[in-house]
A and B are shown apart, each in its own frame.
Chain A
Amino acid sequence: DGGITQSPKYLFRKEGQNVTLSCEQNLNHDAMYWYRQDPGQGLRLIYYSQIVNDFQKGDIAEGYSVSREKKESFPLTVTSAQKNPTAFYLCASSLGRAARSEAFFGQGTRLTVV
């Protein structure tokens, strides 16, 4: 089935560690996005990518890094520089130019710092 897959579903990180969240899509979408959602809040854009080997910072990029080496994959690394990383992370993709078409979301990764 076509879709967008995030893994793992739950992730625990110790203070000072980097962790990488996976996002894979087989929809042949050009655009991919990462969002952060805190309890009872909306989604805040971390990074987005319009095309392979290109990505742009969103509103809250500090403490995060991404890569887009393949069209299908857009991994997000939460670095030790992110002081409050506990949150729900959502990945999405869309066909063509951002915001001109429907976005498909993964089921999210819940990251907890222990």
Chain B
Amino acid sequence: SQQGEEDPQALSIQEGENATMNCSYKTSINNLQWYRQNSGRGLVHLILIRSNEREKHSGRLRVTLDTSKKSSSLLITASRAADTASYFCAPGSARQLTFGSGTQLTVLP
């Protein structure tokens, strides 16, 4: 099954800084989604980027997709303590929605 691998596994930054997380995958995709999980909670959808798109913005989030390199990045600008969470990418194949181990982001006040 298609599964994204997020990098780094953990990231710690100061409030106000930007945070960048990367995702690599192995096979062709229709889209790629990013999700966020606060500790002990369900996942919340952040953004979906289709395979024919290269960049997408949503508020303080910027996602890029490079299908030739089979990689995506999630940039969170002007981070806040409330952004502390785990972030997962989900490369979209035809039938399944699968996830990697995530990036644990800690934003220090």
Contact = CB atoms under 8 A, between A and B. Distances in A.
Interface stretch (A40-48, A63-71, A76-84): A40-48
14 contacts: A42-B88, A43-B99, A45-B96, A59-B1, A97-B95, A99-B33, A101-B48, A103-B43, A103-B45, A103-B90, A104-B45, A108-B41, A108-B42, A110-B40
A82 to B, nearest CB: 20
Interface of B, helix, strand, loop or mixed by DSSP: loop
Range of interface residues on B (Cβ < 8 Å): 20 to 34
B99 A42 contact: yes
A49 B84 CA distance: 32
Contact of B45 (A45, A99, A100, A102): A102
Interface of A: 6, 33, 35, 41-43, 45, 48, 50, 56, 58-59, 88, 90, 92, 94, 97-108, 110
B30 to A, nearest CB: 6
Contacts of A56: 95
Secondary structure of the A contact surface, majority rule: strand
A38 to B, nearest CB: 10
Given A48-B95, A107-B42, A42 B1 contact: no
Given A90-B42, A106-B42, A99 B95 contact: yes
Given A99-B31, A102-B45, A58 B95 contact: no
